[in-house]
Amino acid sequence: MQRFYGFLSDRREQVVLGIAIFVSLVSMLFDSAVQMRFANSVAFGLTSVGHRVFAWPMELLSLRYENEVLRDQNLRLSLELLELREARLENTRLHALLHFRSQQETAESYCIARVIARNPARVSSTALIDVGRNEGIQARMPVLTADGLVGRVLEAHGHTSIVQLLTDRNCRVSAVVQRESRTSGIVSFEDGTLYLKNVPLRGDIEVGDLVVSSGLGDLFPKGLYVGQVVEIGDEAQGLFREVILAPFVNFHNLEEVFVLTIRSKIGE
């Protein structure tokens, strides 16, 4: 149909001339009065039909243009909405980080960093952040978020650093249960699960307990949230019982982190 109207529009003059010749030949068959009435009727009809025929493509083009404009506007608005959502989420995360920082001792020093790459391999789970030696970062410095412990700096370069995450099988954290008994253990990640190892059989621990860093070993500060107890193993497993933790940090969605830089002599 569009091709037909396009054909008529492109050959408008020839079509009008052909219709005029046809009308002239037909009108010659009648007397003058009939010819006049016939000519008026034909002229009126052709004018009406011609307007509809030749105006339709223009209206179609106009509608197409309006649709394109509306699509462009809709796309721009959608992109702006996405940007606003990302800005709002980023603002929420940074606000939480700053709130966490304000709660710490004033003597402590933090460097805010962005995660720019991830390597969630089974053997080594690491992240790349956008601060390094030029910003005062050194190896073994603790890395955390407002939710809790993330890991430690494994390697520090000029403006980037590699962070060994808590989900790395080679990362170990000395931790205690946050209750009066202060039952202790070693947090480690194995086969996709976070464990609190070396917990004595008679250790005072229950599902729902919070586990925090103990501060032993002069690596991770004391009191950083590590995980929450979600399952306690059978007591008939030997000298120790197995405790499964749910980490506080969402390691799949790391974007901004803190590097604790107060301990300038770490690793020396």
| CATH architecture classification, 110-166+254-260 | Beta Barrel (2.40)
The whole model's pTM is what? Answer: 0.59
Topology annotation, domain 173-248: Thrombin, subunit H (2.40.10)
Query: In sequence order, which residues have a C-beta less than 8 Å from that of residue 233 and are 6 or more positions away?
Result: 241, 242, 243, 244
Token couple for 154: 């494994």
Could you tell me if 114 and 129 are in contact, meaning their C-beta atoms sit under 8 angstroms apart?
A: yes
Listed residue (258, 261, 187, 173) closest to 217, CA to CA:
173
Q: What do you get for the CA distance between the two ends of the chain, in Å?
A: 82
pLDDT in tens, 159-189: 999 999 999 989 999 999 988 888 899 999 9
pLDDT in tens, 199-243: 888 778 889 999 999 888 778 888 889 999 999 877 655 678 889
Residue-range domain boundaries for the chain? 1-103, 110-166+254-260, 173-248
b/e per residue, 68-80, with b = 16+ CB within 10 A? Answer: eeeeeeeeeeeee
pLDDT in tens, 120-151: 665 568 999 999 999 999 999 999 988 889 99
Query: In sequence order, which residues have a C-beta less than 8 Å from that of residue 103 and are 6 or more positions away?
Result: none
pLDDT of residue 105: 46
Q: How confident is the model at residue 75 (pLDDT cuts 50, 70, 90)?
A: low
pLDDT in tens, 82-104: 666 656 666 666 666 665 555 55
